[in-house]
Structure 1
């Protein structure tokens, strides 16, 4: 069943073609994730499909009802009462005085509460904590209809989508499969392009060499010797002219073949970064930050109570926990030098926050990074290239950069400065997937300690080797990756469930034994004895 389509769509910004969609269709069972660089046209694509923007050419149509979870729509979100609002904990709420996460939950509940053929989402996981994202995933997986969603959350795209629509250089390309499959197909496509480019270069070089050889032969053709008779001279001249004409035809044929060669562009490769560890001040201690007794309250609200944590030298430590648990509070206490937090001698902290206060909008990107860099300009330009900045971008004033570009610029600035501990508060916000993966690589190559908050599960999984989880005013420290932490947490949860089950079974067994020892006239002894043996068997299985 066809749900929506676009045909021959073109959208221009002044004279620049920003979006071109030849043919795109959504069917009932499609769950399509839209990805692309910041500013590539993802939101424009959604707005054209939903009729919020008119295309300059072509047609766009949705057949049936749909819900649109918009990224920036915060006004006039009224209270909703449905099953979804109860699940997302927003029953009876409106957007007044709510946090970003609560507003997002309200939008999602509103969309899921309707009987629609299509759900469209523009970054629906923004501001959601892990529990909120996982709940949204389950609801979308159970949704009986089509889904079209812009997202930078790779785990979300893997769980929800069965196709990925990439917008690149204004054109769209659909890949069947989830994000992981897209990466595999994209890499195959890149390798194929690299092979075709090498074949093109090799064939062009061979033809150009053949052309030079033929041209050289034409020039070197001997003239008629002076001592040759007239008749012989005429024959020689005729033969030479025939041979020369033949060579010239061959030259023209080769030239035509060169002109008709299908030009293949060289696939872009990111430059390597060689980090010189002598450039930054190295720490020689085991623990760089710690607290054995951390307390923090805001009025009657207790954030930390007798909390403990350790941050080890050269570790990549992720701070995780639900919205409002105190992640940013902990980061600010570290930055502000709270007396309850030990800081090793020689620690130099570089702090990244969402206000991007380290950037001077009047200066160029390169000037901003270079003014505090301990590395030379070549290294800085290489790092910026790895962060997907083009050559001309480094000379832009930072005031002209997009939100995602400013995030990357601020990260580049602190990575190249003389800091040995980076404290990053949500560095993945505003980043597209490609930029996020570039930042991952830069942080993994960084020699030093990194402490960061991120709601992007794939980012945490790829970067972190230590976890600080904030739960119930306490901190749980885990030496290992995020997957290992979650696996351990699940095992403990199962163990706790088993302990609770054993306790309930033992309690029931005690009740049965009491009745068997002193049965009343209403007790069914045979049934009680049967239940007793059943509980014994269950207890054996639990152990």
Structure 2
């Protein structure tokens, strides 16, 4: 069933075309992902389709009710179904006192309570914890209507979408399949367009060279020599004329072929965001940050209760946990060096705050980055250029930048600083996919220590060497990839409580045995035992956390 159709849509800002769409139809059951660079008009497109904004040209016809999950503040006030409130854990609080994650859960619960055939969702995973994202994914998979989704969460786009709409250079292009399929199709289409363009240039050069050759031959034909008699001259002129006529005919045919060549435009270069961190002095120690019996409470509410943890030097560690588990609180405690927190000697720590409060809105983005940087101006401008801030754009005031652009400026401050330990709180919020992948690349290549909070599952899996899980006021350290942690967690949860207790006893006995052997073994024999010790410790930490 057709739920919405848009015809000849064009959106202008001044003389600039933000985007144009010839035709778009949305049918029941479709799940459409909208992707594109920061500032390309994704939110504007959703607002136009929903009737919140008007197109400069064209018409939109809606044939059903719709619900809208807004990226920013929610202006809706109608009630939420009690079952949805409970399912999404919406607290019975005043909207103003809710956390960002709680407000997002409320917006999602309200949209699903409406039972509309069409849902528009603009970055619905922002501020949601991993459990909330998984719950949202599950609910949207079971949703029978149509979904139009703007998201930078690649795992969510892969799981849900049946069609992708891309906004690039003002053009809106549709692709069938999920996000990964869209990337494959886009790459193949780009290679095909480049091959067609190169073939067009090659053929045009070949024909142009042939035309020049014919003209040169025609010009080189000799005039009638003066020594020839009249009869000989007439004969020579006749033969030369015939040859020149043939050459002119051949030249005309080549000109026609050149004119009839199907012109192929040079493909636009794909958007490429580059990030790099200047090499800094490495830490030559085992642990960069240590927490011993760290506690934190706000009034009567205990957030962290005597937790202990280590962030190994040179490792990338993901700090994960549900909304309200204390992730941001712990990062701020590390920043301020509260009781129980120790940092290694020689550690220079750079902080990225999710509220972007390190930026001065009234200063230009260049002034913001230069403020804490020891790098010369050309180096800072190069960092900004690779983040797509070029020429006069570096003199924009921060207050006029979009959310994604502000995130990139805050990251640039980190990249331009002299830091060998980086602490990041939700660095992926508001970033487009191109910037996300560039951030992934630079974090993988960075040789220093990183402790980060993120709810982007793909990002965590790509970056983290180890995981620290905050739950029930405690910290559980898992020295392995995020996917390995999830697999172990799933297998442990399937086993019963009694079985877990038995397994804990078995592992503790095994661990004691290995420690004893390590104490008595020669140096060359310890590597295998050390590996076995770490493997058992991973499993034991998880089982203990599940048994609390």
Normalised-by-shorter TM-score class: 0.7 to 0.9
Cross-structure match for 2:104: 104
Structure 1 residues 160 and 449: CA distance shift in structure 2, 3 A: same
SS of corresponding position for 2:470: strand
> Is it true that 1:41 corresponds to 2:41 in the alignment?
yes
Structure 1 residues 339 and 499: CA distance shift in structure 2, 3 A: same
Structure 1 residues 274 and 468: CA distance shift in structure 2, 3 A: closer
SS of corresponding position for 2:59: strand
Spell out the pairing of 1:307-318 with structure 2 (5 A cutoff).
Answer: 307-318=307-318
Cross-structure match for 1:372: 373
Cross-structure match for 2:217: 217
Q: What are structure 1's unaligned runs of at least 5 residues? A: 503-543
Mapped to 1, the partners of 2:446 and 2:83 lie a distance apart of 46
Structure 1 residues 273 and 494: CA distance shift in structure 2, 3 A: same
Give 1:116 shift: 1.8
Mapped to 2, the partners of 1:420 and 1:212 lie a distance apart of 62
Q: Is the 8 A contact 1:408 1:439 kept in 2?
A: no
Cross-structure match for 1:156: 156
Cross-structure match for 1:397: 396
Give 1:225 shift: 2.7
Mapped to 1, the partners of 2:225 and 2:380 lie a distance apart of 65
Spell out the pairing of 1:36-75 with structure 2 (5 A cutoff).
Answer: 36-75=36-75
Structure 1 residues 440-464: Cα deviation after superposition (integer angstroms, max 9, x where no partner): 1122222221111111111111111
Structure 1 residues 469-518: Cα deviation after superposition (integer angstroms, max 9, x where no partner): 1111111111122111111221222234573899xxxxxxxxxxxxxxxx
Cross-structure match for 1:262: 263
SS of corresponding position for 2:109: helix
Give 1:365 shift: 4.0
> Is it true that 1:178 corresponds to 2:205 in the alignment?
no
Greater shift in the superposed pair: 468-477 or 192-201: 192-201
Indicate the RMSD between aligned Cα atoms, in angstroms: 3.0
Mapped to 2, the partners of 1:346 and 1:226 lie a distance apart of 95
Cross-structure match for 1:429: 429
Cross-structure match for 2:409: 409
Structure 1 residues 432 and 272: CA distance shift in structure 2, 3 A: closer
Mapped to 1, the partners of 2:112 and 2:271 lie a distance apart of 41
Structure 1 residues 304-354: Cα deviation after superposition (integer angstroms, max 9, x where no partner): 222111112221111111111111111112111234222112111111123
Give 1:85 shift: 1.7
SS of corresponding position for 2:95: coil
Mapped to 2, the partners of 1:398 and 1:233 lie a distance apart of 82
Give 1:370 shift: 9.9
Q: Is the 8 A contact 1:77 1:107 kept in 2?
A: no
Structure 1 residues 125 and 226: CA distance shift in structure 2, 3 A: same
Cross-structure match for 2:516: none
> Is it true that 1:295 corresponds to 2:295 in the alignment?
yes
Structure 1 residues 60 and 482: CA distance shift in structure 2, 3 A: same
Greater shift in the superposed pair: 226-235 or 419-428: 226-235
SS of corresponding position for 1:80: coil
Aligned length in residues: 500
> Is it true that 1:467 corresponds to 2:478 in the alignment?
no
Structure 1 residues 129-158: Cα deviation after superposition (integer angstroms, max 9, x where no partner): 111111111111111211111111111112
Structure 1 residues 243 and 184: CA distance shift in structure 2, 3 A: same
Cross-structure match for 1:540: none
SS of corresponding position for 1:288: strand
Mapped to 2, the partners of 1:253 and 1:54 lie a distance apart of 52
Give 1:244 shift: 3.8
Spell out the pairing of 1:463-542 with structure 2 (5 A cutoff).
Answer: 463-496=463-496, 499=499
Greater shift in the superposed pair: 411-420 or 125-134: 411-420
Cross-structure match for 1:535: none
Give 1:406 shift: 2.3
Mapped to 1, the partners of 2:21 and 2:215 lie a distance apart of 46
SS of corresponding position for 2:97: coil
Q: Is the 8 A contact 1:75 1:95 kept in 2?
A: no
Q: Is the 8 A contact 2:85 2:106 kept in 1?
A: yes
Mapped to 2, the partners of 1:116 and 1:364 lie a distance apart of 42
Give 1:234 shift: 3.8
Cross-structure match for 1:18: 18
Q: Is the 8 A contact 2:275 2:438 kept in 1?
A: no
Mapped to 2, the partners of 1:409 and 1:210 lie a distance apart of 54
Mapped to 2, the partners of 1:157 and 1:493 lie a distance apart of 27
TM-score (norm: length of structure 2): 0.83
Cross-structure match for 1:9: 9
Give 1:241 shift: 4.3
SS of corresponding position for 1:180: helix
Give 1:91 shift: 6.5
Give 1:364 shift: 5.6
Structure 1 residues 87-131: Cα deviation after superposition (integer angstroms, max 9, x where no partner): 112275552321221122112111111232111211222211111
Give 1:276 shift: 9.3
Structure 1 residues 384 and 362: CA distance shift in structure 2, 3 A: closer
Structure 1 residues 362 and 81: CA distance shift in structure 2, 3 A: closer
SS of corresponding position for 1:96: helix
Mapped to 2, the partners of 1:320 and 1:140 lie a distance apart of 23
Structure 1 residues 212 and 361: CA distance shift in structure 2, 3 A: farther
TM-score (norm: length of structure 1): 0.83
Structure 1 residues 234 and 391: CA distance shift in structure 2, 3 A: farther
Mapped to 1, the partners of 2:347 and 2:298 lie a distance apart of 28
Mapped to 1, the partners of 2:445 and 2:241 lie a distance apart of 67
Cross-structure match for 2:146: 146
Q: Is the 8 A contact 1:283 1:420 kept in 2?
A: yes
